[in-house]
Amino acid sequence: MTVARRDIVKSDITHTFAVAIVTLLVGVPPAAAETPKMLTVLPVAREEHIEDDRDEIVEGDPVLLIIEDDSHYARILLDLGRAKGFKCIVATKGGLGLSLARQFHPAAISLDIALPDMLGWTVLNQLKLDPATRHIPVQIITVTEEERQHGLAHGAFSYLVKAPTTDGLNTAFDRLKDFTLTRTKRLLVVEDNDIERQSIVELLGYQDIETVAVATGGEALDAMRDKSFDCVVLDLRLPDMTGFELLEKLHAQPALADMPVIVFTGKELTPEEQMRLKGMAKSIVLKDIKSPERLLDETALFLHRVITDLPEEKQNMLERLNGSNEILRGRKILVVDDDARNIFALTSLLENQEMDVISATNGRSAIDLVNKTPDLNMVLMDIMMPEMDGYSTIREIRKVPEFRTIPILALTAKAMKGDREKCLDAGASDYIAKPVNTDHLLSLMRVWLFR
C-alpha cells in the first residue's frame, strides 16, 4: 500500500512521531538529550595497531593519508608511501579518514572502497563536496575493476585494482607523487565557435592553470602529442570530426584513455548518445542557464584546483552551485520504508528542502510507483522490510530499462561489509547507515542528483 504524507498526519503529531523523527535522524530519543545533536564525522583517534608518522609530521611535509581497513595491506601502502617521500597516516575507517583529512590537509589520499563504517564512495563524495579537501588527489585502490568509470567520473585521481605484486602500485605512487609537486595544471579547450571558445577560456582561466584553446579535432590531437594535459573541455560539434570520434581516438591510446574529458555541448543527446558518452567522458555539461557554474565546477574537480585560491567571483559561483539546495528543489523522490514513522521523518526533512516526496511501505508498492512515475529522480530504499526486502526491490527496479541509472540510495541499520556489498550487488548507487546523518544524506543526494 502506498502511504501519502496526508494519510500519516490526519491527526495531530503525537509524541510517538516526535520520538521517531529524533531517533531516525539523530539516533537517540528526546529523553536522552534535550537538543538533538547532528552526527558528523568520527573523532580523531589513534589507530594503535598500525604505527604511522602522524607524530613526526612538521609543516611542509608531504602527507599521504591511507584509508584502508586491511591492516596488512595498509602496512604495504605505508611502506610504499614512505619510500616515495611521504609522511604517512593510516585510518581503518571512513569517518576517521575524513577527520584526519580535515586535520592534516594531506597532499594525497589512498582510499579503499570496502570500509567497516561507510562506503569509500561516501568518503570520496564528502571529500569532493568540501572546498577545503576537494583539491586533494584521491587514489582508489580496491578489489574490483567494474567501478573504474564511476570512480574517475566522481573525481578520483586514479583507480587501481589490488594485485598480488606491488609493480602497479609503484608506478601509481610515482604518478601520484609527481602530481602533488607544485606545477601549473594544463587545460585543453576544444570548441569551434570563436566567441564560445573565448568565453570558456575567460570563465575557467586563472594563474593556477595553463589553458590551450583549439577549434578542431585535428588541432586537439596535435596539441596532445606536443604536451600533456590534465583535463579537456570538448564540444561535440567540430568541423573535421565529431566529438564522439575524437573521444574514440583518445581511448584508443592507453596514455590518454583515463584523461578527464568534460563534454560541453548544446546538442540534444539521444539516450544512445548519452550511454555512448558515459563510457568515454568523465562528465557531460549541457549548455544552459547554469552551465557556466557547472563547467567551472567540473573542471575544478578534475584539475584538483584549490577552491580557496581562486578569485572571489569564481568562489562565489561555486558556492552558489554547491552550497545551495537548488539542485534539490523540485526533485521527485520515492521513500520506501515499512515503518510509517520513518517515512514521516524523511518526508518532513525532504519537503523542507522543497522536494516532491512520494512513499511506499513495501517493495511491491515501490515497484508499481516507479513504473507509474516517469519523472522520478531518486529512490531512498530501506533494506530491512518484510516479505520483499530492499535488495529484491532494487533488483526489480533495475530490470526496467529507463530506471537502470536512476540514483537509488540504500538505507540500512546494519554496517557490515557483507550488507554493503549486497546493496551494491543489488544495484544500489550508494549506501547510508542508520541512524541517518541528515547533512550526510542531503550531501549524497546533491552529488547523485547533480551528476
Q: Is the peptide bond before 401 cis (omega within 30 degrees of 0)?
A: no
Cell of 167: 609493480
Domain boundary among 139, 159, 180: 180
Q: What is the pLDDT of residue 91?
A: 95
Identify whether residues 204 and 313 lie together within a single domain. Answer: yes
Q: At what angle do helices 417-426 and 390-398 cross, to 10 degrees?
A: 30
> Which of 440, 442, 450, 448 lies closest to 118 in space, CA to CA?
440
Q: Is the pLDDT of residue 403 over 90?
A: no
Say whether pLDDT at 169 is over 50: yes
- Number of domains comprising the chain: 3
**Which of these three, 153, 180, 207, is where a domain ends?**
180
* pLDDT-derived band at 323, boundaries 50, 70, 90: low
Residues 166 and 219 in one domain: no
Which neighbouring-strand residues pair with 139? 110, 158
343 domain residue, yes or no: yes
Give the pLDDT mean for 356-368: 94
- Enumerate residues 6+ apart whose C-beta is below 8 A from 203: 292, 295, 296
Cβ–Cβ < 8 Å for 116, 91: no
Residue 27 in domain: no
* 371 contact partners, CB below 8 Å, separation of at least 6: 400
Residue 117: pLDDT band with limits 50, 70, 90: confident
Give the number of other Cβ atoms within 10 Å of residue 4's Cβ. Answer: 12
Residue 1 covered by a domain: no
What is the tens place of the pLDDT at every residue in 196-240?
A: 999 999 999 999 999 999 999 999 999 999 999 999 999 999 999
| Same domain as 216, residue 159 | no
d(Cα 249, Cα 71) in Å, to the nearest integer?
41
Which residue's entry shows cell 608511501? 81
255 with 240, same domain: the answer is yes
User: 263 and 195, same structural domain?
Assistant: yes
Q: Is residue 288 part of a domain?
A: yes
pLDDT band with cut points at 50, 70 and 90 for residue 8: very low
Give the end of a domain, one of 151, 180, 209.
180
Model confidence at 159, pLDDT cuts 50, 70, 90, reads very high
Q: What is the pLDDT of residues 267-310, one digit of tens each?
A: 888 878 877 887 788 777 777 666 888 899 889 989 999 988 99
Residue 333 host element (H or E): strand 332-336
Residues 80 and 60 both lie in one domain: yes
Are 130 and 119 within 8 A, CB to CB? Answer: no
Residues 72 and 170 in one domain: yes
Locate 72 and state its grid cell: 596488512
Is the pLDDT reported for residue 246 higher than 80?
A: yes
Locus of grid cell 544524506: 441
Lowest mean pLDDT among 96-110, 132-146, 257-271, 364-378: 257-271
Query: Rounded to whole angstroms, how far apart are CA atoms 129 and 115?
Result: 20
- 422: which strand partners? none
- Residue 210 pairs in a beta bridge with 186
294 and 230, same structural domain? yes
List the CATH number of the domain containing 170: 3.40.50.2300
Q: Which domain holds residue 104?
A: 54-180
Determine which helix (DSSP H) or strand (DSSP E) holds 243, and give its type and residue range.
helix 243-251
**CA 271/CA 251 separation, integer angstroms:** 21
Higher pLDDT among residues 402 and 345, named by residue: 345
Looking at the structure, do residues 370 and 409 belong to the same domain, yes or no?
Answer: yes
Beta-strand (E) ranges in 35-119? 63-67, 87-91, 108-111
Distance between CA atoms of residues 302 and 209, nearest Å: 12
Contacts of 35 (CB under 8 A, 6+ apart): none
